[in-house]
Chains A and B, each alone.
Chain A
Amino acid sequence: MADIVIDRVVKEFGTFRALQEVSLTVNDGEFVALLGPSGCGKTTLLRIIAGLETQTSGRIVIGGQDVSNLAPRKRGLAMVFQNYAVFPHMTVFENVAFGLRMQKAQQTEVKRKVERAAALLHIESYLDRYPAKLSGGQRQRVAVARALAVEPAVLLMDEPLSNLDALLRLEMRTELKAVLREAGTTTIYVTHDQTEAMGLADRIAVMYGGKIDQIGSPLEIYATPATRFVGGFIGSPPMNFIKVQCSQGTARIGDAALPCPATSKDIELGLRGEDASLSPDGSGIPFDIRVVEPMGSHLLLTGSIDGQSARIVAPPIAKVNAGQRVGLTVDPTRVTWIDSITGRAIA
């Protein structure tokens, strides 16, 4: 088992800086998700950790050993690729056995380890088939089994579920979590899907523009986003940002008053749609409803607060209509205050 230290890694493609001094420590046995929109540098960072890409500067240390200049095969890791990269000309057995064969393992050991990995991923019954005969979900299992068969110290996963349909993705996600928990492998998992990151990871590193904006547990990231980007990227619907005036420690919106940090004049109220509730008497923050979408488990209300668009989540049985003005009550401890200029949360 091994920890991973990413130390001020920079990657430049020509004049474009894909990664700007990224540092991150992943503890032994921890599951960290690199979460961000496409183009944020998360896959580049993963490929640098794997050794498939060379960093412009900075170091990668795995299990105490500086691997920055080592070939991928000498880094003691395994990887699951976005399009699985299951070898089409080999049977499922030979695919899963590939890493062990490269280690020149004894045939009996190969058989034992392949069978164990296959059992873990429930692919025992297709070991003698070729990948072309398998569905996307089954190929995905083969790719994960191939990675786990070598009992790697570090497992890297690059959007492994993104090619699966929604239902299968949910099923694989649950299963992956159970399998990896059992294996206890240090894992870095790249995804653009926040529900995957929230559901799987011990900690999430939210990346944006070649930097890590915030690292924390899923709950921390959700409840206390460090930047406007993190608040807007995580959560469905995304966090609302309402520009308000903060004077003498109080922000007034309609007839509601919220205590605000008086460090800056231009601040934004970061409010999660589910942290506001409809007040019974219409008092509080005025919210003009434009569209009501019944989602089954809740109502999604889209409208505006003080002329700025916002989305609010209401109970499914709430009696509200489009065009109506309602009042919202907000727990002041559950809001985030953002500096309008820097985009960072005010602590």
Chain B
Amino acid sequence: MPARTSWIPYALIAPSVVFLGALFLVPLVQTIWLSFSAGDGFSLENYQRMAGDLNFSLAVRNTFLLTLVVVPLQVVLALAMATMVTKLDKGRDLVLWVLTIPLGISDLAAGLAWLALLQNTGYLNSALYALGLIQGPVGWLSQETPWALFFAIVLAELWRATAIVLVILIAGLQLIPKEFSEAAEIFGAKPWTRFMRITLPLLKPSLQSALILRTVLAFEVFAVVYALGGRNFPVLAGEAYVWQNDNQNYGVAAAYAVLIMAISLAATAVYLRVLRTRPEQLP
């Protein structure tokens, strides 16, 4: 009997394999090939052009700066929110539902919503003007106010994408039996000690997933930045877009894409190593 049915599992996963192969693997190989080819064969010309561009080092700096500020803030915020949500007895589902609304909004729509708040004639300026705090429209998102622009992007990203970390961490917290925390409490651990010595270590697998997901997405940040700052705040994905559409240079765009992928892979490798849970330490 097993011999006759042995092809069934393969048949069942075949559609996914075909799907991934056609729509993921092939374009990936094509992109890598594209980035390393110029004219008539293998060449590093695209990468040289990318690295030589005025905006390149700015884009690298901005992307890393955003990621290094946004991701840790999101994890801390999500941890605090998750801890509070799991402590709720009533209305927990409603609170969770409200907190995760931003997840249902596309990046660009979120960027535009924040633009409506923060642009010269936006709600923020109107409110400040009404309160008499400013005399006229103040530009928050211009090239002259890079820190205000950076802060606005960080704010919008926090609003937009903290919920995905929250959802993963809440799922992780629910997997930890409450007896561990109770036992720690009986044996003298104060709330902060319980969090640091019990909850956080047992949450490590969920933290790892959340960090990988969020960091990879943070390195790809684009729509929110583009909506709020355009090219006033260059980021890697934005540069790839500019080279692809404005400059019609697909090779350099592909080089940017490959660079983003390499950075994401490296970050993932670091998380997998640093936050690994040895099998014998699993609950």
Using CB atoms and an 8 Å cutoff, list the residues of chain A in contact with chain B: 50, 52, 71-73, 77-79, 81, 83, 85, 87-89, 98-99, 102-103, 129-130, 132-133, 146, 150
Contacts and interface: CB of A to CB of B under 8 A. Distances in A.
Contacts of A88: 202, 281-283
Contact of B177 (A83, A102, A130, A150): A83
Nearest to A104: B188
A78 B280 contact: no
Q: Is the interface of A mostly helix, strand, loop or mixed?
A: mixed
Q: Is the interface of B mostly helix, strand, loop or mixed?
A: helix
B179 A81 contact: yes
Given A88-B283, A89-B202, A132-B281, A73 B182 contact: no
Given A83-B177, A85-B182, 19 more contacts: A50-B186, A72-B182, A77-B186, A83-B179, A85-B179, A85-B180, A85-B183, A87-B183, A87-B184, A88-B202, A89-B277, A98-B184, A98-B189, A99-B188, A102-B189, A102-B193, A130-B278, A130-B281, A150-B187
Interface in B243-280: 277-280
A78 B187 contact: yes
The contact size tier of chain B is 20 to 34
7 contacts: A71-B185, A78-B187, A83-B179, A85-B177, A85-B179, A130-B278, A130-B280
B177 A78 contact: no
A83 B37 CA distance: 61
Interface of B: 177, 179-180, 182-190, 193, 198, 201-202, 204, 277-283
A81 B193 contact: no
B185, B190, B193: residue with the most chain A Cβ atoms closer than 10 Å: B185
B228 to A, nearest CB: 42
Given A88-B282, A88-B283, A130-B281, A73 B186 contact: yes
A33 B8 CA distance: 57
Contacts of B184: 87, 98
A132 B187 contact: no
B280 A52 contact: no
Given A85-B177, A89-B201, A102 B188 contact: yes
Contacts of B188: 73, 99, 102-103, 150
B280 A81 contact: no
A88 B278 CA distance: 11
A87 B190 CA distance: 16
B188 to A, nearest CB: 3
Contacts of A99: 187-188
Contact of B183 (A71, A79, A103, A150): A79
Contacts of B193: 102
A78 B188 CA distance: 9
